Chain A
Amino acid sequence: MMLDISGLYASLMHEVKNTLGLMSITLDGVHPTGDPEHDAPLNETRLLCQRVAERLQQALLLYKAVNGQLSPMVDAYSPADVLGELRDEAQALVRDRLKVTVRIADDVPLIWFFDRNLVEMALVNAIHNSIQYARDRILLEASLDDGALCLAVKDDSDGYPEHILECVRNDQPYRSQGTGLGLQFARLVAQAHADRGREGELRLTNEDGAVFRLLLP
C-alpha cells in the first residue's frame, strides 16, 4: 500500500495544532487561587505550553522556508496594537514574576505595513527568551529608525553571548545551547520584509541587558 505521506503529515500537523490550541485555551480557563502549590505548577505549565507552541511554529516555518514559501502577506497594522497584545500575553504568562511594559515613540505612525503573523512570531520568540533570562523586567518598544519601524524587545538579563552577537552581525549561522532557531527565524522574517529595494534587518545588542531589534522598512 502506498502512503500519502504529505497528506498524513498535513493532518498530523492539523491535529497537533488543534490539540495544542485546545490545551492553551483550556489552561487559560484555570484561574490562580493564590495558593502557591496550585499556582506555581499551573504557571509553569502555561509557559511550557507556549514554548511547545513556539517550537511547533518554528517547525512549520522551517518547512516553509525550505520550500521557499516564506513570502510575507503584508497589510496595514497598528504597531501599538501589536505590542499591546504581546505585552498582555506575556504579562499573563509570567503573572507577577516580571513586569512587562510597552513604550511607543511619539513619531511612530498609527499604522505600518508588515505580515502580522511572521512579525509576531519573531517577537514572541524574543519575548520567550527574555522571560527565560530577564531578572525583573521586559520592555517592548516601537520607534522609527531611519525611516524603518523598529520593534524592540529589551530586558535586564546578562545579555547575549558574544558569539551570537558576532554571528548575527556577520550574517552567519550559529550554534547555541538551545536550537538557535528563534533568532535565525527572526532574521529570515526581517529579511523577507523588503520594500522598494530595502530589506528588513535583525539587530542584536547588549545594552542594559539583551536588546532585540526588528527593523521593518
Chain B
Amino acid sequence: MSLIAFGKAETDIDYSAMRALVVDDYPGMRSAMRIALSNFGLTKIDMSANATEVLFKVQHNEYDLILCDFNLGDGRDGQQVLEELRHRGLITLDTAFIMVTAESVYEKVAATAELAPDDYLIKPFNAEILRHRLDGILRRKLAFADIYRYFAGGELEKALECCDLLIKEKPKYIVDTLRFKGELLNAMGRFEEAEALYKQVIQMRAIPWARLGLARTLHMQKKDEAAEELLHDVLEDSPELVSAYDLMAEVKLARNDAREAQAALEKGAAISGKTVRRQQRLGEVAFANGDLDKARAAFSAALDKGRHSIFVTPADYGNLCRVQVEQGDMNGALDTLKKGKMALHSSPEGQLVSAVVQGLVHTKSGRAAEAGRALDEAVRLRNVGARADEQSMLDLAGVCMANGRLEEGDAIVREVARNAHDSDALMAKARQLYEATGRGEAGDQVLKEATAEVRRLNNEGVMLAHKSDYAAAVECMLAASREAPFNPRVIMNTAWVILKRIDQEGMDHDLFAEARRLIEEAGRQSPGHTRITGLRSHLKQVEGRFGIHGSKKK
C-alpha cells in the first residue's frame, strides 16, 4: 500500500490570478461565497443576482470560473443560463462552470458534455468541498487545454489526436476524454467510430450518457429500430433522464410514428418544462398531428419560458398565432401579437411575421380591406429584404391567394420551394394552399418548376464532385446557390465543393471567401446542423494550409 500525500501529488492550482463570478439570488450566499473564494487566494470576484446580470457581466469580462445557483429569481434557471452562455459563445470550454443545486436530480438534465456544467455542488456544502471540487475541475481543464484550443479553432482532427494522447498520458481522465471524443466524432459525421467508442464505454459501465450517445449515433446512421430499443431500456432504468425523451421523439419521427413522438416529448416536458426548445418541438409535432390544444399550450409555454431567451424568435409568435387562427380564436392571435409587440417590432423579420398574422386574421374574419393593408405592409417589408421562417412565408402566400393576388402568392411559394426543396412537410403545406383554392394542378406545376432547376443543379454538382471534377461541380453549385440562396443543403454542398476544389487545385481567394460566407449562412439557416462543424473544420484546415488568417470570431 502507498500513502498518498494530498496536494503534493498533483499540480497546485494558483487562484490569485483568476477571476470568478458568483451567481445567486440570495445576497447572504453571495457574500459567504465571496469570503470562501477569497480564502483560496482569489481577488477578482464579481457577483450577480440574476440571469440578466450574468449575461451582461460575462459579455464584459472573461471568467475563469462561474459558480451559479440553479434556482434564480427571474424565471430562468442555471441550466438555461449555461446553455445561453455556450450558445452565444460567451464562455468557452476553458471556463469552469459549477452548478450549485439543492437537488441531485438536476444532474440528469444535460444531454451533451457541452451543455453539462463541469460539476455540481449539492447544497449544503462547505468550503473544504468547494475547494476540492474547484481544484479537480481546474486540473482537468488544464489537461484538456490543447483539446479545447483545437476544438474552438475548428481543428477537429487535431483535437481528436490530442484526445488519444490524453487517454495515454492521463488515464485518470479516460472517461471524460472518451465523452468529448465521442462528441467530436459525431460533429465530424464519423458515426461508426462514435458508435464503437460508446460501446467501448458501455463495456466498462452502462453509464447513461454513453447509452444516450450510442442511441444518437444509431439514429444518425438511420438505425432507428436499434436506437428505439436502446432508448426504451435507458428510460426504463432512468425514467427521469429528460434528454432521452427528446431523442426518443426524433427516433419515433424517423420511424413515422408522430403520435408516439408527441407522447415522448410530453413526458419530457412534464419532467422539465422550462426548456424552450423542448416546448417548441412539442408544439411543432402536436401541430402536425392536428392536436391543436397541445400545440397551443406548448407554443405558449415556449414564449412564456423563453421571454428573455435567445432561443425565441419571431417564428415562435407566428407558430402560436397560426394555431390560434386555426382554432378560430382570432382575438387570441391578435392578443399574442400585442403581447409580443416589443420583440416583434425590433426586427424586420418580426414585423413581417406580425403583418402575416394580421393578414391571416383579417382574411379569415372577412375584412378584405384590412387584409389588403396587411398584405401591402408585408410586400413592402419583403421589398426591403425582410425574410421570415418558411411556415410564415407560406402563410403569406396563402393570404395572397385568398385575396386574389395569385401571382404574388405563386412567387412566394416558388421562393420557399427553391429554398426548401427537400422538405416534405413544407412542400405538402404548399400543395394544400393550392388545393384549398381549387388550383391543385396549377400548384403542382408551380412547385415542379420551382424546384426542378435547383434539384437538377444540386444533383449534377454532387455527381460531378463524386467524379472528382471539382471545377465543374463548383460552377454547377454556384448556380444552384444563386437560385436558392437560403437552401441549407444547397449552400452546404456549395461550400463543400469549393473547399474540395481548393484542396485539389490550390487557393482561389474569391471562392474561399464565398465558402466562408456560405458556411456562415448555413449556420444561420440550420443552427446546429451536423454538417456545419465539419465544414468549419475543413475551412480551418484550408486556412491553415494556405496561411490565411480568418476573420476573428466576434
Binding site for B on A (CB under 8 A): 13-14, 17-18, 20-26, 28-29, 50, 53, 56, 71, 73-76, 78, 80-81, 84-85, 87-89, 92, 101-106, 110-111, 113, 117, 143, 195
Q: B1 interface residue, CB < 8 Å from A?
A: yes
The 3 A-B pairs with the shortest beta carbon distances in the complex, nearest first, are A21-B124, A28-B127, A76-B175
CB-defined contacts of B33 to chain A, threshold 8 Å: 25
Q: B548 interface residue, CB < 8 Å from A?
A: no
Contact of B129 among A71, A76, A89 (CB under 8 A): A89
A78 and B205 CA atoms in complex are apart in Å by 15
Q: B61 interface residue, CB < 8 Å from A?
A: no
Q: How far is the CB of B476 from chain A (nearest CB, A)?
A: 49
| Interchain Cβ contacts under 8 Å between A and B, 11 examples | A20-B123, A23-B124, A25-B35, A25-B125, A26-B32, A75-B209, A84-B6, A88-B6, A92-B126, A102-B3, A103-B4
Residue of B nearest to A21 (CB): B124
A20 and B122 CA atoms in complex are apart in Å by 12
Contact of A50 among B26, B126, B131, B209 (CB under 8 A): B126
Total residue contacts A-B, CB cutoff 8 A: 116
Instruction: Tell whether, in the assembled complex, residue B1 and residue A14 are in contact, meaning their CB atoms are under 8 Å apart.
Output: no
Residue of A nearest to B2 (CB): A106
Q: Number of B interface residues, CB 8 Å?
A: 43
Q: B176 interface residue, CB < 8 Å from A?
A: yes
Q: Is the interface of B mostly helix, strand, loop or mixed?
A: helix
Q: How far is the CB of B118 from chain A (nearest CB, A)?
A: 13
Residue of A nearest to B171 (CB): A110
**Known contacts A81-B132, A85-B128, A110-B172, A117 near B6 by CB under 8 Å:** no
Residue of A nearest to B119 (CB): A116
A80 and B36 CA atoms in complex are apart in Å by 24
Residue of A nearest to B9 (CB): A80
**Known contacts A88-B6, A101-B3, A17 near B205 by CB under 8 Å:** no
**Known contacts A13-B102, A74-B205, A76-B175, A24 near B4 by CB under 8 Å:** no
CB-defined contacts of A102 to chain B, threshold 8 Å: 3-4, 6
CB-defined contacts of B107 to chain A, threshold 8 Å: 73
A118 and B122 CA atoms in complex are apart in Å by 11
Q: Which of A28, A92, A143 has the most CB of B within 10 A?
A: A28
Contact of B124 among A53, A75, A92, A111 (CB under 8 A): A53
CB-defined contacts of A75 to chain B, threshold 8 Å: 175, 207, 209
- 1/0 contact string of B128-172 vs chain A (CB within 8 Å): 111111001000000000000000000000000000000000011
Binding site for A on B (CB under 8 A): 1-4, 6, 26, 28-29, 32-33, 35-36, 39, 71, 102, 104, 107-108, 122-133, 136, 171-172, 174-176, 204-205, 207-209, 237-238
A198 and B179 CA atoms in complex are apart in Å by 26
Q: How far is the CB of B35 from chain A (nearest CB, A)?
A: 4
Instruction: Tell whether, in the assembled complex, residue A24 and residue B1 are in contact, meaning their CB atoms are under 8 Å apart.
Output: no
CB-defined contacts of A71 to chain B, threshold 8 Å: 237-238
Contact of B29 among A22, A28, A105 (CB under 8 A): A22
A102 and B131 CA atoms in complex are apart in Å by 18
Q: How far is the CB of A182 from chain B (nearest CB, A)?
A: 17
**Known contacts A56-B124, A75-B175, A89-B128, A195 near B3 by CB under 8 Å:** no
CB-defined contacts of A73 to chain B, threshold 8 Å: 104, 107-108, 208, 238
Instruction: Tell whether, in the assembled complex, residue B126 and residue A28 are in contact, meaning their CB atoms are under 8 Å apart.
Output: yes
A41 and B129 CA atoms in complex are apart in Å by 22
Contact of B123 among A17, A104, A113, A195 (CB under 8 A): A17
CB-defined contacts of A28 to chain B, threshold 8 Å: 36, 39, 126-128
**Known contacts A71-B238, A89-B128, A105 near B122 by CB under 8 Å:** no
A53 and B128 CA atoms in complex are apart in Å by 15
A13 and B207 CA atoms in complex are apart in Å by 29
Instruction: Tell whether, in the assembled complex, residue A25 and residue B32 are in contact, meaning their CB atoms are under 8 Å apart.
Output: yes
CB-defined contacts of B176 to chain A, threshold 8 Å: 76
A73 and B28 CA atoms in complex are apart in Å by 31
A26 and B28 CA atoms in complex are apart in Å by 9
CB-defined contacts of B171 to chain A, threshold 8 Å: 110
CB-defined contacts of A111 to chain B, threshold 8 Å: 172, 174-175
CB-defined contacts of B130 to chain A, threshold 8 Å: 25
CB-defined contacts of B131 to chain A, threshold 8 Å: 88
A47 and B26 CA atoms in complex are apart in Å by 25
Q: How far is the CB of A196 from chain B (nearest CB, A)?
A: 9
CB-defined contacts of A76 to chain B, threshold 8 Å: 174-176, 205, 207
Residue of B nearest to A52 (CB): B124
Instruction: Tell whether, in the assembled complex, residue B129 and residue A21 are in contact, meaning their CB atoms are under 8 Å apart.
Output: no
A53 and B70 CA atoms in complex are apart in Å by 20
A24 and B129 CA atoms in complex are apart in Å by 11
Instruction: Tell whether, in the assembled complex, residue A18 and residue B1 are in contact, meaning their CB atoms are under 8 Å apart.
Output: no
CB-defined contacts of B39 to chain A, threshold 8 Å: 28-29
A22 and B237 CA atoms in complex are apart in Å by 35
Add 19 more A-B contacts to A17-B123, A104-B4 (CB < 8 A).
A20-B124, A21-B29, A21-B125, A22-B32, A23-B124, A24-B126, A25-B36, A29-B36, A50-B126, A71-B237, A74-B205, A74-B208, A85-B132, A88-B128, A88-B132, A104-B1, A104-B2, A111-B174, A113-B204
Instruction: Tell whether, in the assembled complex, residue B6 and residue A87 are in contact, meaning their CB atoms are under 8 Å apart.
Output: yes
CB-defined contacts of B207 to chain A, threshold 8 Å: 74-76, 113
Q: How far is the CB of A29 from chain B (nearest CB, A)?
A: 4
A72 and B156 CA atoms in complex are apart in Å by 34
Instruction: Tell whether, in the assembled complex, residue B205 and residue A113 are in contact, meaning their CB atoms are under 8 Å apart.
Output: yes
CB-defined contacts of A17 to chain B, threshold 8 Å: 102, 123-124
